[in-house]
Structure 1
Amino acid sequence: MSAKEYLENTAARLNASEIGDVNTTLHFDFGGTNYSMHVADGKANLEEGLVGNAECVIKADADDFVKIATGDMNPMMAMMMGKLKLSNPGAMMKYAKMLGLM
């Protein structure tokens, strides 16, 4: 599975009961390949590029992101090792479970 496939699957599976009243944009920067996930009105939408103002920017190597997403790499260890960088860790903590990262 690629990072893009993971994000596409996540956006497709999220529903109103999981999203609740969340209204945010998250940017994913995989070293030159970028995606934006917009979450609002009970649905999530993924698009290529960095679109809109992000509440949090997630930077990682695409392969490392997949390892984190699939549970093969601990996200806290990845942050400590510099393999995962978050512009707003507090916001990411709110959304990590929704995104399947915790």
Structure 2
Amino acid sequence: MSLQDIAKDIRTGLAGKNFDGTLKFDCGKDGVIVLSEGGATTDDCDTDCTLQLSRENLKKLLTGKLNPMTAVMMGKIKISGDMGVAMKLGKLIS
């Protein structure tokens, strides 16, 4: 599954929900997905918070197969920037 497909699924999943702030899923050489009030895009830009993780772990995170706190503790996700924005994401995907 490409990042464009994942971004499309995120847009569908967030329909009717509000996300305050900007967050980037940085999947390294695979690219990025930026989540903002306007939805999800694969265009890179500066954000309030960045999560660095593999594309595979991103898919697991978004489908509930990867616990965010466990993933951070195990080094599967690295967070930089505003932790409050990352916490808002947790409420959306739980």
**What TM-score do you get using the length of structure 1 for normalisation?**
0.72
Indicate the RMSD between aligned Cα atoms, in angstroms. Answer: 2.1
Matches within 5 A, 1:5-84: 5-16=5-16, 18-19=17-18, 22-32=19-29, 33-39=31-37, 44-51=38-45, 53-84=46-77
Q: After the TM superposition, which segments of 4 or more aligned residues of structure 1 sit over 4 Å from their partners?
A: 1-4
Larger Rg: 1
Asked whether the 8 Å contact 1:30–1:59 carries over to 2, the reply is yes
After superposition, the Cα gap between the structure-2 partners of 1:13 and 1:76, relative to the gap in structure 1 and judged at 3 Å, is closer
Q: Residue 46 of structure 1 aligns to a residue in which SS?
A: strand
User: Could you say if the C-alpha distance between residues 2 and 76 of structure 1 is closer, same or farther in structure 2, counting changes exceeding 3 Å?
Assistant: farther
Percent of counterpart pairs with the same letter?
A: 28
Q: Deviations over 1:6-50 (max 9, x none)?
A: 33212133234x21xx442211100121122221xxxx3322232
2:23–2:51 contact (8 Å) kept in structure 1:
yes
Q: Is the CA contact 2:23–2:85 (under 8 Å) kept in the aligned structure 1? A: no
Unmatched segments (≥5 aa) in structure 2: none
Counting matched residue pairs gives 92
- Matched residues in 2 for 1:37 and 1:59: separation? 14
Rounded to whole Å, the distance in 2 between the matches of 1:97 and 1:3 is 22
Q: 1:96 is paired with a residue of what secondary structure?
A: helix
Structure 1 unaligned segments of length 5 or more: list them. Answer: none
Would you tell me which structure has more helix in proportion to its own residues?
A: 2
